[in-house]
């Protein structure tokens, strides 16, 4: 496993790199199965108080096919939002890196979001919220791929 | 002597079978005779080469992920999903079958004839997803990494797995009970229900294996059994699907999510994460099956009221399982982090309870079934202070 890419967090580039890693590891994602949803990964206060980074990643079949920073025109485009402050994101990312792609027991996506804190899953439609559960293993492995990056925390992370 | 349904399988039942196919239903014998005569004489029928007015000839083209039911259903010759099934045998929807109707048998077991007792707008998507996201409880779980836990946590894990082993296969038995009553024209629904049965077999398997990998199964409980019986005995497919997929599996989904959160090993995390994905599919079918049924009910108000009456009973019976100490206590021990911290675990469980019920009521709303004011399950945990 190479950790050649230095990528700052929070940044759209960081999520784009995860998308690239996912697409490069197609065999693994074919094994896990289809993932069809648009997820908005939100890092609260990424750009300062009240200024979040909202990275929308569209998954189709076994790939991340679109990664963009959500603007006003993208409101309502995501099936659900997974949001946390930069500190919680950083702890999770560092845990994944320490575990070489496997987070500590208390740093999995489901663990962190189960009580709506420090991560929170938001969706207006409960069926769309359930997509988070239907694809949970794929989404976990999507973020686990951050172990292959050298994440730098040079802003509020 | 072997028995079936409490009755000996012997001379009488074989005699009944002989009468059925030897004396009453003899059309097959005429068909056999005609076919044999034609074959002996060397005459070919070749009628099957004539597509008549079936529309045969347009070819199904795969979409990016292969050839799905949705791709095939775009062809006019694939046959329309009927509002009410009239083909009560195995002749496939889209085949040339009308000329043979009179000579075909009627399968009397096919009794669920109304599309709106079965259909959900997401059923084809869920079927494809279910096939693509199958996993293997033998190979995909890193069993060799399973670590020994302190006695209280291991027993709590094994007790939780005992509960899950006990309850999981009702979600296989319930669709199985209805599957053979559903005519072949609803093949998409039958296909999806088959995946649900497979999913539940795997869940039963993985929790049984996990329990034995940790020492063994622990206690079954009467409260679980009554909840399962209430599901299995539901009077209609839609009512049972509401109770099983929307309420029961919705609650079990919450338990899986909690199980992943409180898991003390990576092996247990993986088990719960895999299972919760499957369970969420079943919940999604339950929500939209109920919605479809209510949306198309001839008397919407009456359908809602009937469902309320059913839910008034069903919710309370389901509650009998979710109040069992054999479930609540091991969850609290795992959540608290040990037997000595069971009280803290119960506080956490009280929060989870509120989430469970809120999510259940949201799903009911999504299906067009406003249950909030009549819900019999307390919105706060029975033990909440």
CA A107/CA A110 separation, integer angstroms: 8
Q: What percent of chain A has pLDDT over 70?
A: 95
For A:49-88, CB contacts with B below 8 A are 61
Reported as a single tens digit per residue, the pLDDT across A15-38 is 999 999 999 999 999 999 999 999
Residues in A closer than 8 angstroms to B257, CB to CB, are 110, 114, 133
The predicted model gives B338-349 an average pLDDT of 96
Residue A125's CB is within 10 A of a number of other CB atoms, namely 12
Per the CB < 8 A criterion, the answer to whether B173 and B232 are in contact is yes
CB contact under 8 A, B280 and A130: yes
Reported as a single tens digit per residue, the pLDDT across B59-111 is 999 998 899 999 999 999 999 999 999 999 999 999 999 999 999 999 999 99
Q: Which of B129, B261, B277 sits opposite A137 (nearest CB)?
A: B277
Per the CB < 8 A criterion, the answer to whether B234 and B240 are in contact is yes
**Which tokens go with B29?**
């014998």
CB contact under 8 A, B362 and A126: yes
The predicted model gives B261-287 an average pLDDT of 96
Q: What percent of chain B has pLDDT over 90?
A: 90
Q: Which of B65, B132, B269 sits opposite A105 (nearest CB)?
A: B269
* Dihedrals phi, psi of B316, to nearest 5 degrees: -70, -35
ipTM of predicted complex = 0.94
pLDDT at B52: 87
**Which tokens go with B38?**
């034609």
pLDDT at B1: 57
Q: Where are the domains of chain A?
A: 5-147
| CATH of B115-374 among 1.10.10.60, 3.40.50.10140, 1.20.140.10, 1.10.620.20 | 1.10.620.20
Q: Where are the domains of chain B?
A: 1-45, 53-108, 115-374
Q: Model confidence at B10, in pLDDT bands (50, 70, 90)?
A: confident
The structure's pTM equals 0.94
CB contact under 8 A, A126 and B257: no
Residue B20's CB is within 10 A of a number of other CB atoms, namely 11
pLDDT at B263: 94
Instruction: Flag whether pLDDT at A1 surpasses 50.
Output: no
Distance from CA of B181 to the nearest CA of A (A): 28
CATH node for A5-147: 3.30.1050.10
- Cα nearest neighbour of B288 on chain A: A127
Burial B91-116 (b: 16+ CB within 10 A, else e): bebbebbeeeeeeeeeeeebebbbbb
Q: Model confidence at A103, in pLDDT bands (50, 70, 90)?
A: very high
Reported as a single tens digit per residue, the pLDDT across B29-61 is 999 999 999 999 999 999 999 998 899 999 999
Reported as a single tens digit per residue, the pLDDT across B174-227 is 999 999 999 999 999 999 999 999 999 999 999 999 999 999 999 999 999 999
Reported as a single tens digit per residue, the pLDDT across B110-156 is 999 999 999 999 999 999 999 999 999 999 999 999 999 999 999 99
């Amino acid at each position: 496993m190479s950790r050649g890419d230095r990528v700052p967090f929070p940044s759209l580039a960081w999520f784009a790199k995860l998308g690239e890693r996912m697409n490069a590891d197609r065999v693994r994602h074919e094994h896990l199965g289809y993932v069809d949803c648009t997820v908005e990964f939100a890092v609260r206060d990424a750009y300062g108080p009240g200024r979040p980074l909202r990275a929308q990643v569209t998954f189709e079949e076994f790939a991340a096919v679109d990664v963009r920073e959500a603007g006003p025109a993208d409101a309502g485009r995501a099936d659900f939002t997974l949001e946390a402050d930069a500190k919680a994101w950083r702890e999770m990312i560092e845990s994944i890196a320490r575990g070489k792609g496997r987070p500590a027991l208390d740093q999995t996506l489901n663990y962190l979001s189960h009580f709506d804190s420090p991560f929170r899953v938001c969706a207006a439609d409960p069926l769309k919220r359930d997509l988070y559960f239907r694809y949970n293993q794929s989404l976990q492995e999507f973020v686990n791929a951050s172990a292959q990056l050298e994440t730098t925390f040079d802003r509020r992370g | 002597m072997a028995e079936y349904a409490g009755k000996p399988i012997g001379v009488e039942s074989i005699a009944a079978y002989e009468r059925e196919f030897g004396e009453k239903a003899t059309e097959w014998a005429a068909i056999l005779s005609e076919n044999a005569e034609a074959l002996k004489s060397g005459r070919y029928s070749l009628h099957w080469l004539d597509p008549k007015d079936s529309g045969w000839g347009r070819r199904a083209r795969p979409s990016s992920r292969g050839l799905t039911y949705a791709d095939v259903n775009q062809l006019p010759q694939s046959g329309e999903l009927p509002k009410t099934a009239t083909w009560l045998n195995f002749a496939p929807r889209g085949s040339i079958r009308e000329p043979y109707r009179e000579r075909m048998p009627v399968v009397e077991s096919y009794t669920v004839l109304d599309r709106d007792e079965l259909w959900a707008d997401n059923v084809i998507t869920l079927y494809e997803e279910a096939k693509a996201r199958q996993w293997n409880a033998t190979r995909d779980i890193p069993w060799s990494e399973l670590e020994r836990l302190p006695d209280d946590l291991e027993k709590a894990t094994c007790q939780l797995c005992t509960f899950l082993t006990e309850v999981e296969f009702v979600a296989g038995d319930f669709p199985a009970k209805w599957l053979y009553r559903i005519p072949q024209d609803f093949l998409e629904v039958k296909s999806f229900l088959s995946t649900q049965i497979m999913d539940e077999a795997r869940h039963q398997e993985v929790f049984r294996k996990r329990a034995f990998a940790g020492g063994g199964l622990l206690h079954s409980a009467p409260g679980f059994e009554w909840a399962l019986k209430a599901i299995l005995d539901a009077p209609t497919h839609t009512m049972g699907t509401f109770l099983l997929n929307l309420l029961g599996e919705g609650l079990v989904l919450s338990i899986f999510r909690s199980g992943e959160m409180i898991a003390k090993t990576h092996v247990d995390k993986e088990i719960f994460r895999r299972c919760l994905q499957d369970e969420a599919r079943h919940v999604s079918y339950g929500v939209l099956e109920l919605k479809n049924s209510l949306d198309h009910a001839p008397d919407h108000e009456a359908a809602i009221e009937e469902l309320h009456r059913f839910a008034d009973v069903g919710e309370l019976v389901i509650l009998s399982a979710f109040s069992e100490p054999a479930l609540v206590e091991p969850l609290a021990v795992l959540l608290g982090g040990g037997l000595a911290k069971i009280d803290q675990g119960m506080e956490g469980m009280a929060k989870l309870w509120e989430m469970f019920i809120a999510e259940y009521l949201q799903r009911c709303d999504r299906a067009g079934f406003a249950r909030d004011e009549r819900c019999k399950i307390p919105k706060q945990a029975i033990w909440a202070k």
